[in-house]
Amino acid sequence: MTATNNVIELKNVSQWYTRDNGQRTVVIEGLDLTIEDVPKKGQFICLLGPSGCGKSTVLRYVAGLQKPSEGQVLLYGKPRKPEDHVGMVFQQYSSFPWLTVLDNVTLALAIKGVPKNERKEKAMSYIQACELEEHADKYAQYPILSGGQLQRVAIARSLVSNPNLLLMDEPFGALDVNTRLKMQDMLLAIWERLWHINDATTVVFVTHDIPEAVYLGTDIYIMQSDPGRIAHHLVIDLPFDKTRQVKRDPRFVQYVYNIEDMMMNVPQKRGAESAKK
Ligand SMILES: Nc1ncnc2c1ncn2[C@@H]1O[C@H](COP(=O)(O)OP(=O)(O)OP(=O)(O)O)[C@@H](O)[C@H]1O
Ligand SMILES: [Mg+2]
């Protein structure tokens, strides 16, 4: 396999922060992660791991928002370039509060160069999919919209431009249970639609919810802390056209318990101080 067959490659990545007193806190060390391209399909990668192990940091590398202290970040076999377009949903709400919901979603299309007359209809279809049509003309700011509604604006904005690579950092963390379950199915449906448009769309999805990861993921990576790196990789072999009924399938339940055991056994401690200066 050549390097160009990989959507994402992190090679021997380390991250440290230096304090005022010169001491280094090592957060990630020797992290390797290779996400292969699966033509005509793409992959749905779920990333699990204890708080502080570096999940958001990994997404920031791939999004081009941060460079590792050491190591390489490759996208499609090449060093990451500023113009590489990836969709990103952040752990915190990230809509533009001075724009309406509709204008937030339309802006993503304008940036992508979609002709003006096509933008509104397309934006509205994603706003509807995220069940925000009643709020399309409201400003995307708290408390005009609730936290969960704002997160759905960010999701609609990230999906509308059909990205080949979509990074989602705990996107459903602020949603109530019903909305969360509906959004899981909506995301799977949109992912399926994106393959037809893009040939393959790869999603990297961070969550703390093990059943959510097993339901959504084609692959699950479990990270450890101290130092942050990949501890386990599981390929999820479940029927492809999933409905929520699959959660009662014994294989599903087994995955959840196995992952729970793995999570309990990965190193959890916060990054240790290193003597390096
Ligand atoms: N600028 C910084 N200075 C010092 N430490 C930092 C800085 N940015 C991140 N860190 C540390 O890096 C570690 C990894 O952070 P990250 O946000 O990637 O964790 P996470 O796995 O996403 O956690 P969570 O599940 O809580 O969101 C944390 O211990 C954090 O304190
Ligand atoms: Mg995080």
Ligand 1 atom at minimal distance to the Cα of residue 208 = 25
Indicate if 110 and 58 belong to the same structural domain: no
Spacing, Cα 207 to ligand 1 middle (Å)? 15
Answer yes or no: do 77 and 112 share one domain.
no
CA of 94 to the centre of ligand 1 (A): 18
- For position 186, which CATH number holds? 3.40.50.300
Q: Is this prediction's pTM over 0.95?
A: no
Looking at the structure, do residues 198 and 139 belong to the same domain, yes or no? no
Question: Do 177 and 210 fall within a single domain?
Answer: yes
In terms of domains, do 177 and 265 share one?
Answer: yes
Distance (Å, rounded) from C-alpha 273 to C-alpha 160? 43
CB distance 28 to ligand 1 below 6 Å: no
Which residue's C-alpha comes closest to atom 7 of ligand 1?
17
Among 144, 162, 180, the domain boundary falls at 162
Strand partners, 25: 17, 273
* CB-ligand 1 contact for 55 (6 Å cutoff): yes
* 51 found inside a domain: yes
User: What digits encode the pLDDT tens for the residues 13-37?
Assistant: 999 999 999 999 999 999 999 999 8
Whose atoms come closest to the Cα of 52: which ligand?
1
For the Cβ of 54 lying below 6 angstroms from any atom of ligand 1, the answer is yes
DSSP structure string for 109-122 = HHHHT--HHHHHHH
pLDDT of residue 91: 77
**19 and 102 housed in the same domain:** no
Total structural domains within the chain: 2
Angle at 150 between CA 198 and CA 169, to 5 degrees: 55
Of 120, 139, 162, the one marking the end of a domain is 162
Locate the ligand 1 atom nearest the alpha carbon of residue 223 and give its number.
21
Where is 62: in which H helix or E strand? helix 55-63
* Below-70 pLDDT ranges, the chain: 1-4, 270-277
Q: Which of 102, 87, 74 is nearest to 155 (CA)?
A: 87
pLDDT digits (tens, 9 = 90+) for 220-242: 999 999 999 999 999 999 877 78
Could you give the CA distance from residue 109 to residue 265 in angstroms, rounded to a whole number? 44
Check residue 164 and give its pLDDT.
85
> Is 52 a pocket residue for ligand 1 (Cβ < 6 Å)?
yes
CA 37 to chain centre: 16
Ligand 1 pocket, residue 98 CB under 6 Å: no
Q: Tell me the CA distances in angstroms from 106 to 98, 137, 191, one per residue in order.
A: 14, 12, 20
Q: How many angstroms is it from 52 CA to the middle of ligand 1?
A: 5
Boundary of a domain, candidates 130, 162, 194 = 162
Measured in angstroms, how far is the CA atom of residue 30 from the centroid of ligand 1? 16
The predicted pLDDT at position 4 comes to 55
For residue 109, the enclosing domain spans 96-162
Instruction: Write the residue with the smallest CA distance to atom 2 of ligand 1.
Output: 17
* Nearest-angstrom CA–CA distance, 55 and 213: 14
Burial of 146 (0-12, 13-18, 19+ CB in 10 A): middle
Q: Which residues contact 107 (CB under 8 A, 6 or more apart)?
A: 96, 99, 157
Same domain, 176 and 69: yes
